[in-house]
Structure 1
């Protein structure tokens, strides 16, 4: 099996990254424009609602002040009404006394003049109180009119604010929907850009020249009885369902044998020339560190704890760097896979 090394991939990818990625983003531009437009509308509504709320609060305060003033005027009006009634009663008594004295032949002239003067004073007092009463009634009527106007204005402001709040609610729902649309459009554009980049990279791969390179050597499989395998960019995982020997894939020296942190049982063999193999899985290890082994020697036995297939991981490392292990396996050994 051959290892393909891509030459010029880095230059191709750099060219791709530098190139402008052109995708259709008409939907995204429209979505962003709609979000901005609705955001501005919401901002305007917020300001208008704030302004109306300030007017409403001011109106409520004015109504409260007018209601307090009207109460004082009404109380004063009641008091003046009492004073007018008292002045009318007093004027009536003085007038009756004046008539009696005027008809009495024994009343002196100066006495008549005194009663007449008292009558004039009572009438003047009554007139002043009636004038004061009329004035306070006019003021109360004026305050009542202003209070009615303020309450009407308050109700209108309340209706306007409610209408604005309703419009804001509708605009907010629409805004949130448009924001979601914008996110979807942005995600779509990002995917399009990513797809364009991927296609460019694929194109760079397909157009780049390749140089073939063979592994230094080939190894046999560490286990003979396995159902399938999975090859990654580094190692090969064999699946098995029986207890069987795990064999050395070549002569070498055991540099580690035992448990390794959370990895499980590990056997590491140095084959020389900076080449090592690693075995990892559930094993009953039969070798120890510094043992010399030959190709095919038993290193361990696989273990099974359930009816499910178990895994044995095998990796080839060169200069302490994991290799693409599947390329290092003997083709005859993996032909059954």
Structure 2
């Protein structure tokens, strides 16, 4: 039983919640890479390759955990089979003892019937003797024979009968006592076996519960493995798309160098590019009123002991709370995003972007130019914190920055 320890269900649950949060944080990053590829595509491609390697390591760890749980299940099944064999043997012993008790009970009943017959015979003899004593004819009856020898034989006969009856009674009493003692011993043994059976039954129940626990754990591990495999697949697809984007970017840059000039930008686009976002570090307004539930930065995965980077913060806030842009800019994405709910990404020029996730509603469209404090949507539910809240990121040329260093204290 001591071997059946393994990875505890509570650790799996904590890690699964952690994984759900990581998926929520990472999937928008994939889209962000695709929207900001022109700024630093080579660095982003390297980062995705690094993430792929890290998640493949995690997947191997999950596979090992799955294999370990399967081995523990095999051990548990073997223990269950052994307990069931012991239960079968114990039930057989109990059945045999019950048969012995039944046989002894029949024997006791038979001896009781014999005892009743002997008692009836002795009662009859006692009544005869009582009549003889009342009439004082007992001695006359004995002496009524033709000779003394006959009288002596009669006396001896009566004495033998009394002695025989007494022996029968004594023997029967001894037999009853012996059988009663055996019956008591068998009842005690039966009680002991019943206690042992209850003990084995409890052990069987415990093992079945352990088996159920291990099966639940196996389901969790396999589900987690499936999530990691899915994540790796999405990373690989993003890596391939980004590689194509890099190649296309290089091709366009080559063509642009051959051209004499570029098309002039609009006034609104120039305003976005010159928004001065870089000078606002530590002075940006908060996108929503609330408290930070999950911090930015690298943390160690508790199950796999591998570092996982959180690119933004989760701000706990009431459902339906208005979410506002921290600075003027251009909406480059405003739509549902897989694994993340409603998502808005705003470009503030000079390589700066802000990302707003877990929205229940979006009030803006892709491509519009907005001002600071513009309401972009409302807070929705967050899988990462198990409550309503906003996910918020700040990025510079694809690289995540700590939002709390940029927001007002």
| Alignment TM-score, normalising by the size of structure 1 | 0.49
| Alignment TM-score, normalising by the size of structure 2 | 0.41
Question: Which entry has the higher C-alpha Rg, 1 or 2?
Answer: 1
Please state which structure has a larger fraction of its residues in helix: 2
